[in-house]
Each structure stands twice: as C-alpha cells, then as structure tokens.
C-alpha cells in the first residue's frame, strides 16, 4: 500500500535545536540514544539506522551519501530551507511538540509554526522543576503545580511524563505527608535554582495529582515507555509496571499514551491497550530508529493484539529536521507493509486496511486530542 498521500498527524515530537546549539552537537548524535562521546564518535555510524538514513537524507538533499557532503549541503541550505524541505517531504498536517527536552537549547514552538500547525505537550517533571524555585512551601508549590494544568492552558493538548527516566514506571500511591517531607529536601538542594526532580516519592505523588486533573479534563497523558537514553533503567520502563495505576478507577478518565512502541515491550503495550479502555499505543522512535526488519516487528508486535483504534503515528523527532522526514517516510512504509500482510492473512479486507491506515496516521490522534485540523 502506498500511503504517501495521507498526511500524518505527528502526535509526539520535539523542538529543533537552535543554530548555536546545533553547531555544538555532532550530526550523528541525532541517530543514537547514547550520549557517551565514545558511542557518538565511534559506534553511532555503525548502525543499520544510520547507514540507511545517510543515503535517504542525501537523496532528499541531492548530494553524495556521506556525512561530509550532507553537512556541506545543510550549511548551504540553512536551517529554514532545510526544515522546509524535510517537513514538506514528511507531508504532515500537524505536530504535537513536547518542549521539555533541552529547554535552553531549542527553538520556540512559534518558530516551528512557520512550517506546520503545532500544538503543545506539557512535560510534567520539567514544569515541577520550574515551579519549585518560587514556591514558599509545599502547599504553595502544589497549588501552583495544579493550577498550571487545571484547566490546561489553551495551546496544551496533552501532558507528558518522563517518570520512566527518573524513578521508573512502578508508580505507587503516595501520601501528601510523605511527599511534603521530600519536598523540603528537594527545595533546599536546589538553592533557588532549578533542581532536578528525581525523588520517587515526590515524582509518584505529583504524577497522581496530574492524573487526577487529567481524568477530569479527559486530557491525554503521554508516558515515555521502553528504550531511551541510558539515563533510564530499561527494566523499569516496561509499561506492565503501570498496572496499579491503570486498575485505579480514579484515573480512568485520563487517556494514557504509551510512547515508542514500548520497545522492546511491544506485546506488553499491545496487551494493555487491548484490555484497558484508556490505554493507547504509539509507534514513534522505534520507527525510524530500528533496522527495517526491527521496525516491521515492532509494529507487528503492537498490532498482534492492540485495537487499531488505539494505535497512533508519531516521529519522536528531535534535534534535526531530517528525523521528521525519516519517521514519516518509514512510518508509512512499515504501516503499509503490515496492512498488506494483514489483508493477505485475511485479518482485514482491502477496504478495511485503507481505513486503518487513515486512522493510525491521523484519525485516531485527531479524535484523542480533540484536534480540528482541516
């Protein structure tokens, strides 16, 4: 199936780097989740993803398929023209951007709006870190934290949690008193600056607060799940850890979106989407970062069980515009191949496969985030 004609609604991506930050970041750093300089310098160029992508970017930019030629061509084009080229080739009808990644080094949402309609995803842990400095007490902090999302600001269509990175997805019910005790330690450690929030008690408590508000507003909550940079313990990024939270009826009104195909826990994610009405899954990062056969297996792993009304496209693109293009290209190819196979297997009719493609690439996200992009 050729799905190129269907514009994608990218339900999770990040801002591009400011030119000065980009000049300090090796191009190949965008092709690995590792940040160890040795990984970036010596190993990132030896992945199937990187090799495939170099050829595809070179073709898009009309230059030779090597890093030097690509860097020269990118310089020639400049960031605006490069972005225009990549975004146009991605054929996007809109993008939801989590602007909590590298907040000091990225271009603002408004900059991206010259190329594509943008809505905002608010990163909870970063928001908490921004609020702690001004807060006079835990009660004051909590009031500010809650007010920031109740009701959600106009441009915010969802929130995002990186609790998988900080203390893991085994979120537990935590008392107000226990959280207040930890707050004082956290605040003192920060000395008026923006201290990193990594205490499990506080993280769990604040997430529950946010979920309760999200449930009232039917505001989708995206969770980082599965692989990511080595800041996370992959064992605790398995979405099965979320069970106590998913079983708690208090939070049922909050749609929970499991990002990154939960790779390598695709089947676990698909299972959760198949039994909990408010759980959704997403194919971002796994597509385009894996090998072609890996991407195919990741999507098949989700689709084995997950209702296709719960599956959404995203890129998780960050740092450079090329990732938006590569994700959109491979998102369509891999989805098309999976649906063709489903038709061959008699799981779907050809007409049904067309409907599923439309739903996964944009329809499901439009409905979930109440977007009216025409």
Q: Which of residues 41-100 bind Zn ion (CB under 5 A)?
A: none
How far is residue 202's CA from residue 208's CA, in Å, rounded to a whole number? Answer: 10
Closest separation in Å from C-beta 247 to Zn ion: 26
Closest separation in Å from C-beta 45 to Zn ion: 23
Query: Among residues 99 and 268, whose Cβ is nearest to Zn ion?
Result: 99
List the end-to-end C-alpha distance of the chain, in Å, as a whole number: 24
CA distances from 31 to 25, 193, 355 (A): 12, 32, 32
Closest separation in Å from C-beta 324 to Zn ion: 13
Query: Among residues 170 and 316, whose Cβ is nearest to Zn ion?
Result: 316
Q: How many Cβ atoms sit within 10 Å of the Cβ of residue 51?
A: 13
Whether the Cβ atoms of residue 225 and residue 257 lie closer than 8 Å to each other: no
How far is residue 29's CA from residue 25's CA, in Å, rounded to a whole number? Answer: 7
**Residue 167's closest CA among 132, 207, 139, 194?**
207
Closest separation in Å from C-beta 32 to Zn ion: 15
Binding-site residue total for Zn ion (CB under 5 A)? 1
How far is residue 106's CA from residue 84's CA, in Å, rounded to a whole number? Answer: 17
Q: Which of residues 298-337 bind Zn ion (CB under 5 A)?
A: 316
Closest separation in Å from C-beta 12 to Zn ion: 6
Query: Among residues 268 and 316, whose Cβ is nearest to Zn ion?
Result: 316
Query: Among residues 298 and 356, whose Cβ is nearest to Zn ion?
Result: 298
Closest separation in Å from C-beta 318 to Zn ion: 7
Which residue sits closest to Zn ion, CB atoms considered? 316
Query: Among residues 60 and 285, whose Cβ is nearest to Zn ion?
Result: 285
CA distances from 84 to 74, 161, 291, 308, 362 (A): 12, 30, 27, 31, 21
- If one asks whether residue 204 binds Zn ion (CB under 5 A), the answer comes out as no
Query: Among residues 98 and 182, whose Cβ is nearest to Zn ion?
Result: 98
The token pair that represents 266 in the structure block: 């695709």
List interacting residues with Zn ion (CB under 5 A): 316
């Amino acid at each position: 199936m050729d799905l190129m004609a269907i514009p994608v609604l990218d339900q999770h991506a990040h801002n591009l780097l400011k030119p000065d930050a980009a000049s300090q970041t090796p191009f190949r750093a965008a092709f690995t989740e590792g940040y160890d300089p040795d990984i970036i310098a010596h190993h990132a160029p030896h992945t199937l993803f990187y090799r495939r992508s170099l050829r595809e970017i070179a073709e898009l930019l009309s230059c030779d398929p090597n890093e030097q030629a690509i860097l020269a061509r990118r310089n020639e084009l400049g960031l605006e023209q490069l972005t225009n080229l990549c975004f146009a080739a991605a054929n996007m009808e809109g993008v939801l951007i989590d602007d909590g990644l590298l907040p000091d080094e990225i271009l603002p949402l408004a900059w991206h709006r010259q190329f594509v309609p943008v809505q905002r995803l608010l990163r909870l842990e970063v928001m908490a870190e921004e609020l702690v400095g001004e807060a006079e007490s835990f009660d004051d902090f909590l009031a500010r934290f809650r007010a920031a999302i109740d009701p959600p600001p106009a441009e915010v269509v969802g929130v995002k949690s990186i609790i998988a990175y900080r203390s893991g997805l085994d979120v537990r019910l935590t008392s107000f008193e226990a959280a207040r005790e930890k707050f004082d330690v956290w605040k003192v450690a920060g000395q008026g600056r923006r201290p990193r929030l990594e205490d499990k008690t506080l993280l769990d408590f604040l997430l529950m607060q946010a979920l309760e508000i999200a449930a009232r507003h039917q505001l989708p909550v995206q969770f980082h799940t599965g692989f990511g940079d080595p800041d996370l313990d992959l064992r605790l990024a398995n979405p099965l850890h979320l069970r106590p939270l998913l079983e708690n009826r208090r939070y049922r009104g909050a749609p929970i979106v499991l990002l990154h195909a939960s790779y390598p826990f695709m089947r676990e994610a698909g299972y959760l989407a198949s039994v909990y009405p408010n759980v959704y899954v997403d194919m971002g990062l796994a597509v385009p970062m894996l090998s072609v056969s890996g991407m195919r297996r990741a999507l098949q792993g989700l689709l084995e069980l997950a209702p296709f009304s719960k599956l959404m496209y995203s890129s998780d693109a960050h740092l450079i515009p090329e990732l938006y293009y590569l994700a959109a290209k491979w998102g369509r190819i891999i989805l098309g191949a999976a649906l063709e196979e489903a038709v061959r297997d008699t799981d779907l009719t050809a007409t049904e496969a067309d409907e599923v493609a439309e739903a996964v690439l944009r329809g499901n996200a439009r409905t979930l985030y109440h977007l009216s992009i025409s």
